[in-house]
């Protein structure tokens, strides 16, 4: 992935879509406990970052 494409991934002004995901309550509790540690404001931004990072790694392998 090019640097320009990567920069676009972190553009906060791009269109967003809300989704719903079902997760076990204990996983959400763990995310809420761990998320503040690496400077995230809550578990949702932490999950978003984890999803983006995982997707980028998968794209680089393919």
pLDDT tens digits, 40-60? 888 888 888 888 888 888 888
Give 1's pLDDT tier (boundaries 50, 70, 90): low
Instruction: Please give the model's pTM, rounded to 2 decimal places.
Output: 0.63
Task: Report CA 34 to chain centroid distance, whole Å.
Answer: 14
Q: Share the mean pLDDT of the chain.
A: 84
Helical H runs in the chain?
3-9, 25-34, 43-61
Q: Please state, in angstroms and rounded to a whole number, the distance separating the CA atoms of residues 17 and 32.
A: 22
């Amino acid at each position: 992935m090019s640097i320009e494409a990567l920069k676009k991934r972190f553009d906060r002004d791009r269109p967003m879509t809300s989704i719903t995901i079902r997760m076990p309550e204990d996983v959400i509790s763990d995310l809420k406990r761990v998320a503040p540690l690496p400077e995230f404001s809550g578990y949702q931004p932490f999950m978003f970052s984890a999803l983006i990072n995982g997707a980028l790694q998968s794209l680089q392998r393919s």
